[in-house]
Structure 1
Amino acid sequence: MDYSTKDFWEDRLASDWTETGVGYRSLGKAFNVWMYRVRRFVFLRELQEAGVEVAGTSVFDIGTGTGFYVGLWKELGAGTVTGSDITSSAVSNLRERFPDSEFHVFDVSRPGLPVPAGSFDFVSAMDMLFHITDDAGHAQAFRNAAALLRPGGHFVFSENFLFGPEQRGPRQVNRSMHTIERELAAAGLEPVRHSPMFVLMNSQVDAPWLQRRGWAAIMRSATALGLGEPLGRALYPLEKRLVQTRSEGPSTEMMICRKV
């Protein structure tokens, strides 16, 4: 990531180290809380369905943010969880929140690791790779993830795998499934499981233009009217059902890969 992106997240997380600061800020905290409940459900379910054993293993989390996924790895029984973030403010807060874990300032989009290579059974990078706007940096992130893993280890991440045209903005790039699969293969990572993380409750990045605009308008209106909490509560059970019954979705998806 370039320095402007690092500074952006440093300022944002220093002022708002909550679900809203690391989440979809325009939807408000109440709705983001429900979105994180969906993330928790999908993450735990997908690892269980993949049949991988987490208990007693070593984990390295990239882009740790508030530590949400650190908590989930610990819930699954991981032996050690090491975290990292591009911002020093997040790392400082994480060290206070999880004194039994190690945290590093780490820009995954650049060469070089903060820990010895090949030290971990699992590496995760949740809800952050699409914020790497530099294509070379995005490919480097996959190489770094693979380098952190032992042979046969698993990389768990979420991305916006588009089947339509790639979407580029100053703070986010939504790349095609083809691009991501090519970068994974080049890094020696083989997909073993892939499923939607959201269907209705997150931005419809891989939907037709009108659907994307309509979703954004509805969500903005709900937030402005203070309806984020009841809307999230109402959508949560439906979203849980949808992510279990669909193999693809119009929003963020989760993938589990194995280091070949």
Structure 2
Amino acid sequence: MATHSELRDFWERRLEKDWTESGVGYRALGRPFNTWMYKVREEVFLRRVGHLGLIDPSVLDVGSGTGFYVRLWERLGAADITGCDMTDAAVERLRARFPGHRFSRQDAADLDAFDDDAFDALSCMDVLFHITDDERYTSAIGEFARVLRPGGTLVISENCLQRPEQRGEHQVNRTLEWIAGTLDKAGFDLRLRVPMLMLMNAQVDASVPWRKTWGGALRAATLTGPTGWLAGAALYPLERRLVRRRRESPTTELLVCRLRG
């Protein structure tokens, strides 16, 4: 398993070369397919977070990457948006893309640039399962609780396994029980857990035969840019229906939590 320094170097090199949806997303499936995948993520985020009724929130976006969710917070009317990322490659580009917002290089597990009780809402999307050290993960959740005001909203995406956890060099898929327990210990109440994707991502919480079969089919369908675009376009309408109708997902889910006062 990679150390924290190795992980930072990995993401620095990756985003330096590819600051796009594929750079921050499922890179093996290519940018055209990822573009369709992120359309689904966008719809889920805007629908679910938009329904929370947050009024002009002050927001911290942790692990901003390309600024995809910064843009969505803008659309939701956030009064003040601050972003951070662990890589210089992302922060430099984010400052140029969003000159009206503040960005700094910060690790999720150590948000020392930000004061206690500084934000009404915090998002950390597609980041936490890339923290391979459980202590750093727990520290990150603790930092989220520290910088949020009592009653504040935490929005994260996670792979909440109801099967045994899966550990890799750059990603750890943890169990729902462990994630929920970590959130609870930090003072968060888990209010909502819904699918963010269903078929357009790795089936990490499915049976091994299905996971391998579907993963192979996706990779085959996205071998080239044109076929990846067609595969994404074909799956997109089905994926939109599935994320609305299903309560749980075999892949990434959106979690909304409230910090206890």
2:133 and 2:34 map into 1 onto residues whose CA distance is: 27
Name the counterpart of 2:16: 14
2:24 and 2:49 map into 1 onto residues whose CA distance is: 23
SS of 1:180's equivalent in the other structure is: helix
Alignment of 1:20-59 (within 5 A): 20-49=22-51, 51-53=52-54, 55-59=55-59
Q: CA RMSD in A?
A: 1.0
Name the counterpart of 2:176: 177
Q: Deviations over 1:166-193 (max 9, x none)?
A: 0000000000000001100111011111
Name the counterpart of 1:66: 66
Contact 2:26 2:34 in 1 (8 A): yes
Name the counterpart of 1:100: 100
1:52 and 1:12 map into 2 onto residues whose CA distance is: 36
Alignment of 1:55-204 (within 5 A): 55-110=55-110, 112-204=111-203
Name the counterpart of 1:238: 238
Task: Count matched residues.
Answer: 257
1:224 and 1:159 map into 2 onto residues whose CA distance is: 27
SS of 1:153's equivalent in the other structure is: strand
2:90 and 2:144 map into 1 onto residues whose CA distance is: 20
1:141 and 1:115 map into 2 onto residues whose CA distance is: 13
Give the TM-score taking structure 2 as reference length: 0.96
2:155 and 2:53 map into 1 onto residues whose CA distance is: 11
Give unmatched runs, 5+ long, in structure 2: none
CA-CA distance at 1:117 after TM superposition: 1.4
Amino-acid identity (%): 49
Give unmatched runs, 5+ long, in structure 1: none
2:74 and 2:144 map into 1 onto residues whose CA distance is: 20
Contact 2:222 2:231 in 1 (8 A): no
CA-CA distance at 1:4 after TM superposition: 0.3
CA-CA distance at 1:109 after TM superposition: 2.2
Runs of 4+ in 1 over 4 A off after TM superposition: none
Contact 1:130 1:172 in 2 (8 A): yes
2:112 and 2:68 map into 1 onto residues whose CA distance is: 22
- AA aligned to 1:52 is G
Q: Deviations over 1:227-260 (max 9, x none)?
A: 1111111111111111111110100000000000
2:71 and 2:42 map into 1 onto residues whose CA distance is: 10
2:113 and 2:240 map into 1 onto residues whose CA distance is: 36
SS of 1:224's equivalent in the other structure is: coil
Contact 1:194 1:256 in 2 (8 A): yes
1:57 and 1:109 map into 2 onto residues whose CA distance is: 23
Name the counterpart of 1:4: 6
- AA aligned to 2:106 is F
Give the TM-score taking structure 1 as reference length: 0.97
CA-CA distance at 1:113 after TM superposition: 2.1
Contact 1:109 1:132 in 2 (8 A): no
